Amino acid sequence: MADPLPPVIAIDGPSASGKGTIAEAVAQRLGFHYLDSGALYRIVGLVSGERGANLDNDLEISNISLNLNIKFEFSRVWVDGRDVSELIRGEVAGAAASRVAVLPGVRKALMALQRGFRRLPGLVADGRDMGSVVFPDAALKIYLTASPEERARRRYKQLMEKDSGASMAALLQDIRDRDFRDSTRAAAPLLKCADAIEIDTTGMPVGEVVAQVLHLYQKTQ
């Protein structure tokens, strides 16, 4: 019989729900690999924008996605030999990411890349469709949420640390727009799958959420 595939913990949810922080901490505690799938869409959005490509043209953007040399190393992200770690975190890359993410060809192009992260001893993957599309056989599926106001506050705090002049009202609007785009698109919309466990992190400290996810994972063993 073939060896079973390495276990996956899928953590999905809307933007700024704390997925990245929680997923990275859980991966570290378990010694698992970590996939930040949003970073892949951000890279495609960023590079496509820089090249002046039409962000609504599936064929053009899929071709760009298929030909990128992406490397994650020591918490940094490299594309074709260039460190884009800071650039992909900006609001411009975020907005471009959510635009190219509606294109079915782009989602298909990124599928094999994402599945390639599934290696021993296991993987924690965060995104929008980790449990529903990319790793439907995940051992544990978590759906993380928080109120839009709380998510805007978190993002505001993050951006303030970087001295950005963002306004709370603009961030809240951006989060609402992105939620709408992510949940109403035809290709792999953001949704809580039937077998996912929802955790509302509004007002919850990070350590508590991490402990809850680890506890839920232990129960699957």
**Is residue 207 a contact partner of residue 26, using CB atoms and an 8 Å limit?**
no
**Minimum distance of ligand C5P from residue 221's CB (angstroms):** 26
Q: Given the complex with ligand C5P, which of 31 and 125 has the nearer CB atom? A: 125
- Beta strands of the chain (E only): which ranges? 8-12, 33-36, 70-73, 76-79, 82-83, 123-127, 140-145, 197-200
Stretch that binds ligand C5P, among 25-33, 38-46, 58-66, 143-151 (CB under 6 A): 38-46
One of 11, 18, 37, 77 touching ligand C5P (CB under 6 A):
37
**Is residue 38 a contact partner of residue 46, using CB atoms and an 8 Å limit?**
no
**Does the protein bind ligand C5P through residue 131 (CB under 6 A)?**
no
Site string for ligand C5P, 1-20 (x = CB under 6 A): --------------x-----
**Does the protein bind ligand C5P through residue 97 (CB under 6 A)?**
yes
Q: Given the complex with ligand C5P, which of 23 and 31 has the nearer CB atom? A: 23
Residue 120 CB partners (closer than 8 Å, separation 6+): 6
Place of tokens 């505001």: 156
Cα distance between residue 155 and residue 98, in whole Å: 17
**Is residue 9 a contact partner of residue 140, using CB atoms and an 8 Å limit?**
yes
* Total of chain residues touching ligand C5P, rule CB under 6 A: 14
| Chain residues that interact with ligand C5P, rule: CB under 6 A | 15, 37-38, 41-42, 94, 97-98, 101, 127-129, 178, 182
